[in-house]
């Protein structure tokens, strides 16, 4: 049964792609859940790099998705569609969404929701889904990371990086992470990284080789691409796995295929948003079973940098683009 759902809501949209100042409030109809969907009254929405790229005009939403930015939210389920579990009504959840998070109400597949554990605020909960889904799939499923192995994470103080470090340590891995300042390297070490490399002052290839006694790392989580790829391959162990999740340093890379053959390396990558609802549901189930208990017990927690009111989303995007942050940015939308 629908609970006090208004006809309209406020969302932050824009007339055309552009800089962080293009956002403006707009009044939209509150969406109604379809088959298998839930409607969430949003308390907080996470801000992620894909949101910035969408706002710039380079990452259009997939067919059928909301044109409003926002790939993760936390709040209360206030309406359910046909086939969605009735017990979810009035439940506080955090959720991966196909878009639409920068709004007072947001639709998503019921299977893409996770319960908010006791002791986790809704602001913290909103900072988890996009990073948790991305890290779990790419590090542990595609990257096949396992106990006793070594992971190299670029962008160690990003939302992805801070989550990857904590999860890897929780599963008894060694972690090398890079960042662009001594302050950020200190934050990485506090999260548990075994080695933090200031890439502006140190050569991460040489640092990795020294740390691993020349063996190299087993898994690389790469958000840079470009000329980083060849350097990553240099410091990888035999049978290593290289996983690309972003191309902030360039779309193309030139690599030595003889090195790939000699080390028997695997190069892979993925994007999450275009994947099917069924795929994301299976991913959510695995996260709920294996990784979510780590959140519930406090072993894994989002690193929170700042919170902005929904109306100040432009300032949040400007901060993300500056790179002058450690952890996650969330938008405060309502009371959830």
The reply to whether 181 and 113 lie within a common domain is no
115 & 170 share domain? no
Sign of CA dihedral 305, 42, 318, 69: positive
Radius of gyration of the CA atoms of the chain, in A: 20
- Are 95 and 23 members of one domain? yes
Residue 250: CB partners within 8 Å, gap ≥ 6?
Answer: 225, 226, 227
Q: Could you tell me the CATH number of the domain that includes residue 50?
A: 3.90.180.10
Are residue 184 and residue 151 in the same domain, yes or no?
A: yes
149 inside domain: yes
| 264 shares its domain with 147 | yes
Name the domain boundary from 222, 253, 269.
Answer: 269
What CATH number corresponds to the domain at position 136? 3.40.50.720
User: According to the model, what pLDDT value does residue 276 have?
Assistant: 96
Q: Are residues 113 and 147 in the same domain?
A: no
Domain for residue 2, yes or no?
A: no
Residue 255 and residue 279 in one domain: no
Domain ranges, residue 73: 8-128+273-332
Residue 335's pLDDT is what? 84
Q: Please tell me the predicted confidence (pLDDT) of residue 3.
A: 60
Q: What is the pLDDT of residues 30-51, one digit of tens each?
A: 999 999 999 999 999 999 999 9
Cβ atoms of 251 and 227 within 8 Å: the answer is no
Q: For residue 321, what are the contacts with CB-CB under 8 A and spacing of at least 6?
A: 20, 52
Based on the fold, state whether residues 104 and 158 are members of the same structural domain: no
Q: How far apart are CA 270 and CA 286, in angstroms?
A: 18
Same domain? For 297 and 240 the reply is no
Question: Over the chain (336 residues), what is each successive 10-residue block's mean pLDDT?
Answer: 82 97 98 97 98 96 94 98 97 98 98 97 98 98 98 97 98 98 97 98 98 98 97 98 96 97 98 96 98 97 98 98 97 90
Q: Return the structure tokens found at 94.
A: 């955090």
Same domain, 56 and 43: yes
Residues in CB range of 80: below 8 A, 6 or more apart: 33, 37, 38, 39, 86, 88, 89, 110
Convert the pLDDT of each residue in 227-245 to its tens digit.
999 999 999 999 999 999 9
**Do 60 and 100 reside in the same domain of the chain?**
yes
Is 111 contained in some domain?
yes
- d(CA 308, CA 233) in angstroms, rounded, equals 39
Does residue 13 sit in the same domain as residue 113?
yes
Integer Cα distance of 30 and 296 in angstroms: 32
Contact 126, 76 (CB under 8 A): no
Q: How high is the pLDDT of residue 1?
A: 47
Domain count, the chain: 2
């Amino acid at each position: 049964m629908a609970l006090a759902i208004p006809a309209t809501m406020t969302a932050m949209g824009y007339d055309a792609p552009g800089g962080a100042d293009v956002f403006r409030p707009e009044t939209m109809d509150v969406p109604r859940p379809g088959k298998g969907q839930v409607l969430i009254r949003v308390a907080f929405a996470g801000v992620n790099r894909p949101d910035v790229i969408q706002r710039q005009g380079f990452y259009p939403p997939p067919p059928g998705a909301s044109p409003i930015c926002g790939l993760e939210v936390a709040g209360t389920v206030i309406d359910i569609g046909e086939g969605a579990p009735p017990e979810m009504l009035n439940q506080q959840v955090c959720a991966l969404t196909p878009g639409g998070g920068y709004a007072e109400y947001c639709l998503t597949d019921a299977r893409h929701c996770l319960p908010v554990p006791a002791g986790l605020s809704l602001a913290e909960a909103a900072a988890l889904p996009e990073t948790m889904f991305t890290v779990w799939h790419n590090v542990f499923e595609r990257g096949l990371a396992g106990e006793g192995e070594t992971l190299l994470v670029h962008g160690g103080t990003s939302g992805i990086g801070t989550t990857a470090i904590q999860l890897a340590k929780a599963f008894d891995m060694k972690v090398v992470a890079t960042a662009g300042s001594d302050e950020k390297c200190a934050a990485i070490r506090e999260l548990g990284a075994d080695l933090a490399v200031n890439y502006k002052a140190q050569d991460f290839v040489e640092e990795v080789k020294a740390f691993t006694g020349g063996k190299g790392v087993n898994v690389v989580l790469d958000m840079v691409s470009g000329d980083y790829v060849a350097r990553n391959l240099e410091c990888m162990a035999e049978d290593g796995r290289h996983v690309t999740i972003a191309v902030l340093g360039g779309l193309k890379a030139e690599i030595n295929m003889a090195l790939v053959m000699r080390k028997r390396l695997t190069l892979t990558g993925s994007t999450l948003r275009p994947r099917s609802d069924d795929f994301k549901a299976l991913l959510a189930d695995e996260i709920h079973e294996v990784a979510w208990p780590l959140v519930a017990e406090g072993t894994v927690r989002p690193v929170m940098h700042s919170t902005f009111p929904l109306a100040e989303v432009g300032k949040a995007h400007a901060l993300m683009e500056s790179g002058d942050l450690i952890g996650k940015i969330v938008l405060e939308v309502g009371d959830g």
